[in-house]
A and B are shown apart, each in its own frame.
Chain A
Amino acid sequence: MNKKSTRNILLITALAAVSVLSACGGGNDKNNAGTNTGGGNTSGGNAGKEVTLRLFSNLPDRKSGQGLAEQMVIDNYVKENPNVKIDIETLAEEPFKNKLKAYMASNEALDVTMVHGGAELNTLVQAGYVKELDPKEYEGDKYKFLPGVYKSFTFNDKLYGLPRNSDYEVIYYNKKLFDDNGIKIPTTYAELLEAGKQFRAKGIEPMSMNGKDLWSFAAFFQDLVERVSGDQNLMLDAVAKKKSFTSDENFTKAAELLAQARDTKLFQESFMTADYGASQNLFTQGRAAMWYMGSWEAGMATNDKLPEDFRNNVNVLRFPVVEGGKGKDTDLLAWNGGGYSLVSSSKHPEEAKKFFDYMMSADQWAKIVWDTGAAVPAQKYELSGKESELQKQLTDVLTGATSTAGAIALDSGTPKFKDDAQNVFGKFFAGGSTPEQLLAELQKAAETQ
């Protein structure tokens, strides 16, 4: 009897402890929500309902780069609309993607979310998680979107999000290293390889590459495919299984050229273990002559943490042409990867739309990222006259482009394809498989996606 009653008491206390704890958590929630709206009230005093909007973004660092730009847009909006509070949740790239899936599966009531165009957005579209937008609303002077930037955000002729940046691959180079060593700035692929050999002979790393991240290889290969075939869509078609990697001789040629880059040691030593930061530091410290990277690094020339000698000498080079290839050096591997979408399950659809439109207007995100050098926007921007030389060169590359790819092949398939294809490139560069094996395995990755 005694035994039993003690046990019962223990059980009850355990249960009580659990329920108290859970009540605690739940209570906290409500309390916070209460103070949130309360806080808005005191600072507001303006007409209009108190609203808290939820924004989900992949830019955790709010003090520099694009994170800072995003924060500035939000601050501007809140200043103009004191009745609105914006709750930002940020996670770094990989956890962001995972959590967005969890949110989608449970139909979480976010208001605006960052999205990656292409296959990832398509998943959200098919789940009905994001809202359709009317492209007509975004025409005209308020937004100034560049032509063709909706490509990765359009599915079945319907628009589901707006791009925030124009991303395109260029080769950054350190002019001083070229001049000091008397090496010609390459305009063809053969000259690029030759310059690589000369730099290597002088003990300077020719080209810095973030091999560990793997995606750069795929972009480099897509650039080569275009330069050989003159067809921006060839590689995209192959991923979409409209063409075959193995039967088109353009691919064979491009794969052979890629093997040459590997075999003549164009990339730095141990490039396979270098991640983004490592490859960037190698270049910014003047120990590598070139860096194959995207337009979002425009801020390098104005970043006062970098050596001044470097900042004065960083320049942009278009991806060189290939001898006998049909592509021009003004054909640009450009795409619009990241952007924002409105979430269907939003609790404040009207306020969310208002904020979204504000953010995407040309004088907000586009202007701020351009002014801070955080990225090149997907909208037309006024040159303020304060641009760095590097920013002007990047603008020239974009405005001088005679054709653009619109999408990066790696992101145009399913996430599984991306994973498989990246590993194929990793195997090619680290394991030394042949060009034929590379193409055969890419084909397999496209077929089994």
Chain B
Amino acid sequence: MSKSTKTILWVFFLIVALVQLFPLIWLVDFSFLSSTEFYSSSVLKWPSDPQWQNYINAWVDGKFLRYFINSAFVTTVTILLTVILSLTLGYAFTRMQWKLRSVFFTIILLGIMIPIHATLLPNFAIFKALGLTNSYLGLILPYTAVSVPLGTFILTGFMRSIPKAMEESAVVDGANIYRIVFQIIAPLTAPALVTVIVTTFLNCWNEFIMASTFLSKDSLKTLPFSVMNFAGQYSSDYGSQFAVMVLTSIPAIIIYAIFNEQITKGVTAGAVKG
């Protein structure tokens, strides 16, 4: 590659990177403004007087720590359940021969298409009857139910690309089914599993509608409620809301940065049969 082509490529990528990073810069920038400084004519406005108070508000009035712990707990359990269920389901749909296999596969995949809004009221009634409203389980169950279809979809695609010979040799060596799934298949599907983990994480971390319907107790609320603590009936304390959003997005950014490479692998893996 000639030097000039290289420079052009570099400039191009730098521009792309800037465009990608801009929302984050904007988010941080605005978290230091006071609410009355918003909506000025400039896109970015470097605060003359940074409002650190916004972060104090976010931490104290936004009850950040309490909600953060709840979010972290709910999300972790949901991810664990989703991974175990999607992995085993995926294996059952790709490798096992059983009656009604395709029927159940279709039913699971239908889950991708169901809008959560339609499930809110019936779920609320059922959860209330079971005493699951105002409990962590009241969030973990629906979150898992929503995440498993997509997880299964990704994993089945990936598993089809794994040569059967691997399992055959494992069977010859005397491995039983659980060993095959958790010790042979699981490590092989690692990139796809990471994709499942990250998408599930993002969905749960940002989810608000179900949480607002199923929870009413303050001690159980999740992070999106924190943003709402600064919403008035007509206008809101935007500065503090932005501060909450900065704090909320930090874990998401960290997770994405760690698994970044594997996510890209996971998305394309299984696209071409190996």
Spell out A's residues near B (CB within 8 Å).
Answer: 2-3, 6, 10, 21-22, 24-26, 28-29, 32, 58-67, 89, 91-93, 95, 98-99, 101-102, 105-106, 108, 274, 276-278, 280-282, 284-285, 287, 296-297, 305-307, 338
Establish whether residues B237 and A95, one from each chain, have CB atoms under 8 Å apart when the complex forms. Answer: no
Say whether B7 faces chain A, with CB atoms less than 8 Å apart: no
Cα–Cα distance between A315 and B222 once the two chains are bound (Å): 42
Establish whether residues A59 and B232, one from each chain, have CB atoms under 8 Å apart when the complex forms. Answer: yes
- Indicate whether A64 sits within 8 Å of B212 (C-beta atoms), given known contacts A26-B131, A28-B135, A106-B124: no
Task: Mark interface residues in B31-47 (1 if CB within 8 Å of A CB, else 0).
Answer: 00011101111000000
Cα–Cα distance between A105 and B122 once the two chains are bound (Å): 10
Within the complex, what minimum Cβ distance (angstroms) separates A29 from chain B? 6
- Given the complex, which residues of A lie within 8 Å of B219, measured CB to CB? 32
- Given the complex, which residues of B lie within 8 Å of A61, measured CB to CB? 229-232, 236-237
Establish whether residues A101 and B137, one from each chain, have CB atoms under 8 Å apart when the complex forms. Answer: no
Say whether B195 faces chain A, with CB atoms less than 8 Å apart: no
Of listed B77, B176, B216, residue having the most chain A CB within 10 A: B216
Nearest A residue (CB) for B236 = A277
Cα–Cα distance between A92 and B230 once the two chains are bound (Å): 10
Cβ-defined partner of A106 (8 Å) among B128, B178, B209: B128
B interface, size bucket: 35 or more
Cα–Cα distance between A358 and B209 once the two chains are bound (Å): 33
Say whether B171 faces chain A, with CB atoms less than 8 Å apart: no
Cβ-defined partner of A95 (8 Å) among B128, B209, B217, B234: B209
- Indicate whether A95 sits within 8 Å of B212 (C-beta atoms), given known contacts A67-B232, A102-B121, A106-B128: yes
Task: Mark interface residues in B192-225 (1 if CB within 8 Å of A CB, else 0).
Answer: 0000000000000000110011001101100000
Establish whether residues A92 and B132, one from each chain, have CB atoms under 8 Å apart when the complex forms. Answer: no
**Nearest 10 Cβ contacts at the A-B interface:** A25-B135, A281-B39, A61-B232, A92-B231, A95-B212, A102-B124, A89-B216, A25-B137, A65-B232, A278-B39
Cβ-defined partner of A21 (8 Å) among B36, B140, B177: B140
Cβ-defined partner of A6 (8 Å) among B136, B176, B208, B217: B176
Say whether B191 faces chain A, with CB atoms less than 8 Å apart: no
Nearest A residue (CB) for B134 = A29
Establish whether residues B135 and A276, one from each chain, have CB atoms under 8 Å apart when the complex forms. Answer: no
Establish whether residues A60 and B212, one from each chain, have CB atoms under 8 Å apart when the complex forms. Answer: no
Interchain residue pairs with CB less than 8 A apart (6): A21-B140, A25-B136, A60-B230, A61-B229, A105-B125, A281-B40
Cα–Cα distance between A270 and B54 once the two chains are bound (Å): 29
Establish whether residues A32 and B39, one from each chain, have CB atoms under 8 Å apart when the complex forms. Answer: no
Establish whether residues B233 and A59, one from each chain, have CB atoms under 8 Å apart when the complex forms. Answer: yes
Cβ-defined partner of A277 (8 Å) among B38, B135, B217: B38
Within the complex, what minimum Cβ distance (angstroms) separates B142 from chain A? 13
- Given the complex, which residues of B lie within 8 Å of A274, measured CB to CB? 39
Cα–Cα distance between A277 and B35 once the two chains are bound (Å): 9
Say whether B261 faces chain A, with CB atoms less than 8 Å apart: no
Establish whether residues A21 and B236, one from each chain, have CB atoms under 8 Å apart when the complex forms. Answer: no
Nearest B residue (CB) for A3 = B176
Within the complex, what minimum Cβ distance (angstroms) separates B98 from chain A? 14
Establish whether residues B120 and A102, one from each chain, have CB atoms under 8 Å apart when the complex forms. Answer: yes
Establish whether residues A280 and B137, one from each chain, have CB atoms under 8 Å apart when the complex forms. Answer: no
Cβ-defined partner of A276 (8 Å) among B121, B134, B235: B235
Establish whether residues B36 and A284, one from each chain, have CB atoms under 8 Å apart when the complex forms. Answer: yes
Cα–Cα distance between A62 and B237 once the two chains are bound (Å): 11
Say whether B149 faces chain A, with CB atoms less than 8 Å apart: no
Cα–Cα distance between A3 and B179 once the two chains are bound (Å): 11
Within the complex, what minimum Cβ distance (angstroms) separates B54 from chain A? 12
Say whether B168 faces chain A, with CB atoms less than 8 Å apart: no
Establish whether residues B208 and A25, one from each chain, have CB atoms under 8 Å apart when the complex forms. Answer: no
- Indicate whether A281 sits within 8 Å of B36 (C-beta atoms), given known contacts A25-B137, A106-B128: yes
Cα–Cα distance between A274 and B128 once the two chains are bound (Å): 39
Establish whether residues B237 and A306, one from each chain, have CB atoms under 8 Å apart when the complex forms. Answer: no
Nearest B residue (CB) for A56 = B216
- Indicate whether A105 sits within 8 Å of B138 (C-beta atoms), given known contacts A10-B178, A59-B232, A60-B229: no
Nearest B residue (CB) for A165 = B233
- Given the complex, which residues of B lie within 8 Å of A306, measured CB to CB? 36
Cβ-defined partner of A93 (8 Å) among B38, B41, B233: B233
- Indicate whether A24 sits within 8 Å of B229 (C-beta atoms), given known contacts A61-B236, A277-B236: no
Of listed A28, A277, A282, residue having the most chain B CB within 10 A: A277
Establish whether residues A285 and B137, one from each chain, have CB atoms under 8 Å apart when the complex forms. Answer: no
Establish whether residues B135 and A280, one from each chain, have CB atoms under 8 Å apart when the complex forms. Answer: no
Within the complex, what minimum Cβ distance (angstroms) separates B221 from chain A? 10
Within the complex, what minimum Cβ distance (angstroms) separates A2 from chain B? 7
- Given the complex, which residues of B lie within 8 Å of A276, measured CB to CB? 234-235
Within the complex, what minimum Cβ distance (angstroms) separates A94 from chain B? 10
Cα–Cα distance between A442 and B99 once the two chains are bound (Å): 56
Cα–Cα distance between A3 and B234 once the two chains are bound (Å): 62
Say whether B228 faces chain A, with CB atoms less than 8 Å apart: yes
Establish whether residues B125 and A106, one from each chain, have CB atoms under 8 Å apart when the complex forms. Answer: yes
Cα–Cα distance between A200 and B26 once the two chains are bound (Å): 30
Within the complex, what minimum Cβ distance (angstroms) separates A421 from chain B? 20
Among B129-149, those with CB < 8 Å from A are 130-132, 134-138, 140
Establish whether residues A296 and B234, one from each chain, have CB atoms under 8 Å apart when the complex forms. Answer: yes
Say whether B30 faces chain A, with CB atoms less than 8 Å apart: no
Of listed B177, B216, B228, B232, residue having the most chain A CB within 10 A: B232
- Indicate whether A22 sits within 8 Å of B132 (C-beta atoms), given known contacts A98-B213, A284-B36: yes
- Given the complex, which residues of B lie within 8 Å of A297, measured CB to CB? 234
Cα–Cα distance between A91 and B228 once the two chains are bound (Å): 7
Nearest B residue (CB) for A17 = B81
Within the complex, what minimum Cβ distance (angstroms) separates A261 from chain B? 22
- Given the complex, which residues of B lie within 8 Å of A305, measured CB to CB? 34-36
- Indicate whether A26 sits within 8 Å of B34 (C-beta atoms), given known contacts A95-B209, A106-B124, A281-B39: no
- Given the complex, which residues of A lie within 8 Å of B217, measured CB to CB? 32
Within the complex, what minimum Cβ distance (angstroms) separates A356 from chain B? 20
Of listed A92, A95, A280, A285, residue having the most chain B CB within 10 A: A92
Among B157-177, those with CB < 8 Å from A are 176-177
Among B36-87, those with CB < 8 Å from A are 36, 38-41, 61, 77
Say whether B93 faces chain A, with CB atoms less than 8 Å apart: no
Establish whether residues B228 and A26, one from each chain, have CB atoms under 8 Å apart when the complex forms. Answer: no
Within the complex, what minimum Cβ distance (angstroms) separates A88 from chain B? 9
Among B224-251, those with CB < 8 Å from A are 228-238
- Indicate whether A277 sits within 8 Å of B231 (C-beta atoms), given known contacts A22-B135, A32-B219, A102-B124: no
- Indicate whether A285 sits within 8 Å of B34 (C-beta atoms), given known contacts A64-B237, A101-B121: no
